[in-house]
Amino acid sequence: MVNSWWEIQILADPSLEEILFWRLDNFGCQGMMSEAKENSQLVQAYIPQVQAQPLDLAALSLWIHQDAILMGITVPNISWSLMDDQDWASNWKQYWHPQEIGDRVLICPAWESPSQQTERLVVRLDPGVAFGTGIHPTTQLCLEALEMRYNYGYTGGILADLGCGSGILSITSLLMGADQVYAVDTDPIAIQSTQDNRELNHIPPETLVVEQGSIQKIAEIAPEGIDGIICNIIAETIIDLIPKFNAIAKPEAWGILSGVLMDKAPSVSDQLEKHGWKVGSLWRRKEWCCLNIRRQTPDELDD
C-alpha cells in the first residue's frame, strides 16, 4: 500500500531557519532540508499524512508566522501538498549533496560518489526518514565535538549513541577511532536506517551494535560500562535521561549532548550538576548549543 506524505515548503528570512528546524522537528517532521534561494531560505520537511490533518498544518503555519512577527522579520510563505512514497523518496534527495563538516568529515549521500581527491573521513549515508543527514546545526556541533576529542589525544573507547537516528554519529565515531558503539533508538525506522548505514560503511555488526530501546537497553547489552555518551535529541528528553546516565557510565566517562536550544541550556546544566556531571564547554551555533560534559571526580563531588 502506498503511504502519503505531506510536503511542507517554507520560504523565509534566513534568520528564521533555526527556529523553523525546531518547530518542524517538534511537529514530527522527518527528512528536513534547507537551501538558499537568493535572499531567502527554502526549508522543506515531510510528515506522514496519518500524523497531521490540514488543521494541524494550519496551526503550524500560524506558530511560524508568530515566530517571525516576534523576531521583527518578514512573515514567510508557507505551503503544503500531498505526495506518495515514490515522490518522497526522489524529491528530497535532489537537494542533498556531499557536505564537509569540521576539518575531517565528509558526509556523502549513498547515491553520490565522493571526490577521489578528498583526504577526509567519508561517511556514506542514506537516512531515509530517520533524523541525521549532517544538515542540522545540532548534528554538525556533535560531529565537530567528536572531531575535537579524537584530534587531541583521545583514542578508542566504548560509546553509547542515545537516539541514533540515521546512525551518523555512531559511524563517524568509529571512523575517528572509537573501538565500539552501542546505538539505541525508540523508533524502529531509525534502527533500520542505522543498520542499513552500518552496512553501507562496511562496519561489522559487533562493532556497531544497534538495538531498539534507550538507556535500559544499553545497560543490558553493555554491562562493562560506557566511556562516552553521545546524545542529539531535544533538551526535554535529555533532562529525563540524565538521572540514568550513571547506570551505564564508567567513572571517567564523558559526553556530548546536543539538540539543546540556548534558553534550555541552564536547565540541562542544572540537571547534570545534580547527578554528578560537569559541563566542560558549551558550543553555540545560532539558537542551538552542544554541551561537552564529563563525570565529576570524587573531590569535586565532596566540595
pLDDT at site 204 = 97
Mean pLDDT, rounded, for 179-205: 93
Average pLDDT for 14-28 = 88
Pairwise pLDDT comparison (90 vs 185), residue with the higher score: 185
Mean pLDDT of all residues in 85-93: 61
- The predicted pLDDT at position 93 comes to 66
Residue 22 has pLDDT above 80, yes or no: yes
Q: Given pLDDT bands bounded at 50, 70 and 90, which one contains residue 275?
A: very high
Does the structure show a pLDDT above 90 at 298? no
pLDDT-wise least confident of 123-127, 165-169, 299-303: 299-303
pLDDT for 83 equals 81
Residue 108 has φ and ψ, to the nearest 5°, of -120, 120
Question: Amino acid identity of 100?
Answer: E
Q: Can you name the CATH fold of 128-302? A: Rossmann fold (3.40.50)
92 — pLDDT class (breaks 50, 70, 90): low
pLDDT tops 90 at residue 257? yes
Taking 60 as the threshold, does the pLDDT of residue 89 lie above it? no
Q: What is the model's pLDDT at position 1?
A: 38
Q: Which residue has the higher pLDDT, 300 or 228?
A: 228
Sheet with 4-12, edge to edge strand ranges: 30-37, 40-48, 4-12, 77-84
Residue 61: partners with Cβ closer than 8 Å, 6 or more residues away: 78
| The architecture CATH gives domain 4-94 | 2-Layer Sandwich (3.30)
Residues with Cβ < 8 Å from 85, sequence gap 6 or more?
2, 3, 4, 5
Position with higher pLDDT, 137 vs 77: 77
Q: What is the pLDDT of residue 2?
A: 44
Which candidate, 185, 161, 165, 171, places its Cα nearest to that of 256? 161
Q: Does residue 129 register a pLDDT over 60? A: no
Domain spans of the chain, in order of start? 4-94, 128-302
Give percent above pLDDT 90 in the chain: 58
Q: What backbone torsions phi and psi does residue 187 show, to the nearest 5 degrees?
A: -95, 120
Q: What is the mean pLDDT of residues 202-207?
A: 97
Q: Across the strands, what pairs with 284?
A: 289
- pLDDT-based confidence at residue 32 (cuts at 50, 70, 90): confident
Beta bridge partners of 182: 160, 209
The residue-averaged pLDDT of 218-234 equals 95
User: Residue 297: what pLDDT?
Assistant: 83
Q: Three cell numbers at 226?
A: 560506557
Question: Of 194, 259, 246, 191, nearest to 215 (Cα)?
Answer: 246
Which amino acid is it at 58?
A
Neighbours of 298 (CB within 10 A): 8
Confidence band of 256 (pLDDT split at 50, 70, 90):
very high
